[in-house]
């Protein structure tokens, strides 16, 4: 029987009813590492002979793809495909599909939850009280503040709507800006530098740079206002870890929230343990609704491609 490997943890830990559609279409569903992000060795062993791959955020590089001699389609259960070597996939005739926007609401809601929590210092206050200390740090209100939105696609637009509802101004940067989107006089499209410099709160909703350099790095950190809040529910590599640590220690950055890591779970918890960091284990799209939407789109994409309606080898 032809096999389809499934790696997203939201699906591999307990399966999902929508995967029955793959089985009913005549494919064996294989979980290389149930409930965990697969290692390179686990993927290498599983991908040989597989015709389909319902993929998570694990790295799918040229070496792995070279072993996938029968693979016809990689279907992501999310929007990002920066973890896939697209050039090698194209060379081999492997279709790469994504569930565009399926988890946008879940990610946007988590990002704004982090914004609210950081503005009031909820994580630190909770830790202090649980430790038996009555410690209060004055927070700030969002009304009248500026949100620097780095990436304003489906997720960013929802976050912008939340911010405007709270009375914030939104300065949005996106290299592929949808200029028709202007929901309020308090919303404006600006350059990256202008968004970072104006922001009281920064939220990232974009893929990493092609060269993997941080967007918030040596050149751009000096642009930030003192006391800014930074929220990163997109990719860990968008922010320089060492510079962020220094900025938190100096007070230039009031708080940093992160939800996505290069390796999950992360091996280096140095930054995560900083008292001004709020870290979550990739919860953005991990809601019942987002998982269902993303799985439905990913399975549809997978089966359409395997059945030949989308081309491929």
Helix (H) or strand (E) holding 67: helix 62-67
Nearest to 148 by CA among 218, 246, 65, 230: 230
| Average pLDDT, integer, range 221-228 | 97
> pLDDT tens across 39-85, in order?
999 999 999 999 999 999 899 999 999 999 999 999 999 888 989 99
Cα distance between residue 260 and residue 235, in whole Å:
5
- The values of phi and psi at residue 229, to 5°, are -100, 135
Cβ(33)–Cβ(42) under 8 Å? yes
Cβ(157)–Cβ(163) under 8 Å? no
211 pLDDT tier (thresholds 50, 70, 90): confident
CATH tag, 104-279: 3.40.50.720
Q: Residue 311 has what pLDDT?
A: 46
- The helix/strand/coil state of 215 is coil
| Average pLDDT, integer, range 216-232 | 97
Q: Residue 79 has what pLDDT?
A: 85
| Average pLDDT, integer, range 301-313 | 76
Q: List residues with catalytic annotation.
A: 235, 264, 282
| Average pLDDT, integer, range 186-206 | 98
Cα distance between residue 274 and residue 239, in whole Å:
15
Question: What residue spans define the domains of the chain?
Answer: 3-102+288-306, 104-279
Q: Does residue 95 register a pLDDT over 80?
A: yes
Cα distance between residue 119 and residue 105, in whole Å:
21
Q: Does residue 159 register a pLDDT over 60?
A: yes
Half-sphere exposure of 265 (CA within 13 A, CB side): 7
Taken in order 119, 124, 129, 132, is the CA torsion positive or negative? negative
Residues of the chain with pLDDT > 70, as a percent, come to 98
3-102+288-306 placed in CATH 3.40.50.1000 = no
| Average pLDDT, integer, range 240-259 | 97
309 pLDDT tier (thresholds 50, 70, 90): low
* Lowest-confidence pick of 133-147, 224-238, 280-294, 296-310: 296-310
> pLDDT tens across 225-240, in order?
999 999 999 999 999 9
Task: Rounding to the nearest 10 degrees, give the CA dihedral for residues 142, 147, 152, 158.
Answer: 0
């Amino acid at each position: 029987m032809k096999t389809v490997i499934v790696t997203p943890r939201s699906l591999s830990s307990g399966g999902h009813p929508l995967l029955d559609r793959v089985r009913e279409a005549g494919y064996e569903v294989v979980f290389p590492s149930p409930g965990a992000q697969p290692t390179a060795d686990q993927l290498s062993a599983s991908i040989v002979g597989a015709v389909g791959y319902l993929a998570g955020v694990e790295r799918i590089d040229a070496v792995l793809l070279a072993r996938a001699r029968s693979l016809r389609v990689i279907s992501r259960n999310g929007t990002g495909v920066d973890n896939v070597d697209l050039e090698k996939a194209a060379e081999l005739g492997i279709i790469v599909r994504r569930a565009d926007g399926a988890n946008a609401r879940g990610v946007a809601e988590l990002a704004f939850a982090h914004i609210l929590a950081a503005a009031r210092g909820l994580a630190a206050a909770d830790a202090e009280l649980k430790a038996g200390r009555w410690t209060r740090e004055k927070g700030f209100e969002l009304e009248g503040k500026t949100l620097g939105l780095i990436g304003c696609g489906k997720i960013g637009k929802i976050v912008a709507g939340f911010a405007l509802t709270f009375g914030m101004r939104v300065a949005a940067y996106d290299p592929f800006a949808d200029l028709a989107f202007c929901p309020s006089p308090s919303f404006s499209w600006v350059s990256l530098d202008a968004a970072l410099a104006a922001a009281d709160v920064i939220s990232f909703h974009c893929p990493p740079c092609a060269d993997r350099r941080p967007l918030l790095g040596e050149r751009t950190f000096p642009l930030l206002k003192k006391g800014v809040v930074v929220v990163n529910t997109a990719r860990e590599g968008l922010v320089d870890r060492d510079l962020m640590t220094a900025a938190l220690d100096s007070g230039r950055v009031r708080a940093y929230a992160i939800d996505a890591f290069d390796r999950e779970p992360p091996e280096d918890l140095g930054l995560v343990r900083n008292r001004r960091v709020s870290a979550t284990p990739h919860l953005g799209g991990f809601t019942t609704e987002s998982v269902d939407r993303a799985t439905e789109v990913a399975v549809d994409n997978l089966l359409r491609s395997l059945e030949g309606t989308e081309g491929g080898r």
